[in-house]
A = this chain, B = another copy of it.
């Protein structure tokens, strides 16, 4: 293996190990020694890649943002347009938070009081949901009278709630929980002619291999 390739792998191993330790112990408690030991990497190698725990946290957030972008930038399925894309993205996010420790740790770092987030994943998610619902409103995919701002508030607050509550009780991130949420919301949000074609349980796109969430 070329030296550069090895360095890239070591960096990725350290990011994953940091995400696992942040997820288990919290950012403040996590020690660089625990992270390097779990990664099977010397302290010297860790410091070669990351000058501090804050730098490692930045790298975890960046890696998590890449994963989130795979969910949000995925091309829409043909058919019922933006709202289905939003439903699919929330299912993908819940599944990602269940199965991918880097995504989970990245989101948690957005709420870490001891450290201002550099890449604020919750803010990124909010921006994406807001842009999508604004566009859906312009294209008359929302029911008449639905204010996009109210819908953004409800969807972003609920998904952040799923994320936070899911840390203690994984049932908040179960597909059935997200589906129940959309079964309640879609009849109110969606334009009448779209509603019969929308699938609260998400579309087949979601059933791809979880590898989709792991760009490496």
Contacts and interface: CB of A to CB of B under 8 A. Distances in A.
Interface in A4-56: 23-26, 28-29
A170 interface: no
Interface residues of A, number: 39
Contact of A113 (B25, B159, B177, B184): B25
A131 interface: no
Interface stretch (A58-66, A69-77, A161-169): A161-169
A212 interface: no
Contacts of A151: 184
A165 B129 CA distance: 15
B114 A164 contact: no
A185 interface: yes
A153 interface: yes
Interface stretch (A78-86, A95-103, A142-150): A142-150
B184 A146 contact: yes
Interface of A: 23-26, 28-29, 110-114, 122, 146-147, 149-151, 153-154, 156-162, 164-165, 167-168, 172, 177, 180-181, 183-185, 187-188
